Amino acid sequence: MSLRIGDDAPNFTAQTTEGELNFHQWLGDSWGIIYSHPADFTPVCTTELGRTAQLKREFQKRDTKVIAVSTDDLESHDWWIKDINETQNTKVEFPIIADPDKEVSSLYDMIHPNFSTTAAVRSVYFINPSKKILAVITYPASTGRNFTEIVRVLDSLQLTAKYNVATPVDWEVGQDVIISTSVKKEDLETKFPKGHRVVNPYLRYTPQPD
């Protein structure tokens, strides 16, 4: 199964380090990130899960729930969390799915056979409150994720879901954004009261609306 932007995020019920959960029910009306790990007790994953825990307040501010997937069992996860907390000086307080049968990993296309038939790649799925996949980032097992970029993408998705804008190259929160080409010239002042500047007819900027 190959998941693409705009697809429904598949639902599932799974055992996690915070008990059994139904994914869609657990998400509720929140935004969500589900991301995968090749295996427990792998050094890069340990740093990633630690960083996720350290960013707890940032995800909370964005009304976003984060859940991890690893293809080991719950007992292994519980021991691993102790290592993560100790080595990364944090406290993991989000669920990690036990996926020894690779059911969730396969459902979310996290197993890439040309890379490995057993280990998941580093996939990240961004899911909106309507349970639609809005973005996907995939890394090989050898490359740790950039969580500054993950938070930046989340900010962009939430902003562009609310306003008729797009975020330009290297955009960061607080910088100008690009007005959608679907917005008519005569509607610019009404839709963007902070003002706008025109570079050419299809490239128009406005201060970040929110």
Structure tokens at 174: 């607080």
**Residues paired with residue 122 on neighbouring β-strands, in sequence order:** 139
Closest by alpha carbon to 190, among 206, 201, 174, 203? 206
Active site residue 45: yes
**Residues paired with residue 34 on neighbouring β-strands, in sequence order:** 67, 125
The letter for the amino acid at 162 is K
Strand, helix or coil at 20? strand
Instruction: Choose, from 14, 34, 45, 121, the residue flagged as catalytic.
Output: 45
How many beta carbons lie within 10 A of that of residue 96, not counting itself? 25
Structure tokens at 5: 């932007």
Say how far residue 182 (Cα) sits from the centre of its chain. Answer: 27
Task: Just list the catalytic residues.
Answer: 45
